[in-house]
Every structure is written in structure tokens, then in C-alpha cells.
Amino acid sequence: MGESKQQVKLLQWFAVALFFQFIYLNVFKYANLLQDILVYGAYLKSLSFYKEKTPISKYMACAMILALMNTFFSSHLLFYWSTVLIQGIKLLIIMEFGKILLSIEQKHDIQGSITRVMKKYIAIAFAVIISWTLLMNVTNDWQMGLLFLGALFLLAVNIRLFLHVLALRKHVKNKSFVVTYLQK
């Protein structure tokens, strides 16, 4: 039952990555880079248990380049663009992981709710990204408000996905345990 074990590991590291994403640190200089390294490291670790091809590592490279550009060139316009684009790329990564989660659920015949969770995640994250495209043309108070609200919404959907992934991991783990027990 190596496959189940690998799936458990994959889910575990994905959960770790989501956990590191809970706090939106883009407001502080350099702190966001540390966060990115932690999150992408966990993603990579998680992906090492997945055999099929995904474009996730390409997305991560794009996001990392944008984050570095934002750190080294300080221009307001670049900040707004990278904020939106990085968040968009992060959403794409989560969507790819959603596909992986779906395949795991299907393999274990779980009447899972991952499609529902992902639908909500995508809708809310997309709304946040859209609202952040307006950041450059609003007053300071609105900027802070939009950033804060967006970060709050992202936190909420991340927590929801995190809980779902934990539940899925538990399920897969229990099932694999039962199977190994029966085999003995």
C-alpha cells in the first residue's frame, strides 16, 4: 500500500504549505520572501510524492521571480502588478492541487466535497484578485481596507481548504491502515 502512504505524505505536506500561507505577509518587506520559500518548499516536498506531470513548479518559478522583482525594484506600479499577479499564480497552483486532490478522492471512492470547496475557494480568491486590481487608483484608507479584507477572505478560504485536506488525509490514512490489516 505504498500509494496510500505516498498520498498521505502528499496531503500532509500540502497541509503544511497551506498552513504557512495563513498569514498574508506581503505588506512587510523581505518577510514575504521568507514566507514564499517556506510555502514553495512545502509544495515541492508535497509534489515529490506525486508521479504525474503538473505545471505547478513552473508557476512557482514565475511567482518567485515576481516576488524578487518586487523586492529589488521599488516602484508603486510594480508593487500593484506583482501583488495581483502573484496572488493569481498562487490561485492557479491551488487549482492544480485541487485536481490532484480530486484524483485522490476518486481513487478512494470518497463522496468528497473537494469540488464544492474548490469552487468556493476559486470564486472568493478571484474576487479578491479582482478587487486588488483597483488598489492603484484608490485612497490610502481604501488601499489598506482592501488589502486587509482580501487577506481576511484568503485566510478564511485557506483555513477551509486546510481543514478539508486534513480530513482527507485522515480518511486515506485510516483506509490504508484497514487494508494493510486485512492483508496480514
Partner 1 sequence: MNDLKKQMDQIDIPESLHQRSLQGIEQATKEQHKPLHWVPKVLTVAVALATGGFVAFMVGEQHVDNDRASALMSQLDHLSSPMYWILAILCVCIILYISRKKLKVGADQKKTIGVALVLILLIGNSTIFLQHQFIKPIVVPTVIEVTDSLQNALEVRYITNKDDHRYVKYLQAEDVLYDQTEQANLVNGFYYPLDTSQDLRYQNIRLAFFQLDLNTMKKVMASKTIYLVLNDGVKLPAPIHFTRETFIDENQIMNHSYSQSQHDSKQIISFTLQQDAVFDAFYVPATLEDKILLKEWRLNDQRYTASDFPFSVTKGQRLELTIQLKEAPLDINTSIGFSGPDGYLTIRVYSQAYFTSNLVKKVRENNG
User: CA 130 to CA 159: how far, in whole Å?
Assistant: 21
User: CA 101 to CA 88: how far, in whole Å?
Assistant: 20
Task: Give every CB contact of residue 94 below 8 A, 6+ residues apart in sequence.
Answer: 118, 121, 122, 125, 161
**Among residues 17, 42, 56, 129, which is the contact residue for partner 1, using CB under 8 A?**
129
Helix (H, G, I), strand (E, B) or coil at 106: helix
Binding mask of the shown chain, residues 28 to 57, with x at each position contacting partner 1 by CB under 8 A: xx----------------------------
Minimum CB distance to partner 1 smaller for 30 or for 181:
30
Maximum alpha-carbon separation in the chain: 67
**Among residues 130, 149, 163, 178, which is the contact residue for partner 1, using CB under 8 A?**
130
Site for partner 1 in 60-99 (CB under 8 A): 73-78, 80-81, 84-85, 88, 92, 95
Q: Which residues bind partner 1 (CB under 8 A)?
A: 27-29, 73-78, 80-81, 84-85, 88, 92, 95, 126, 129-130, 133-134, 136-140
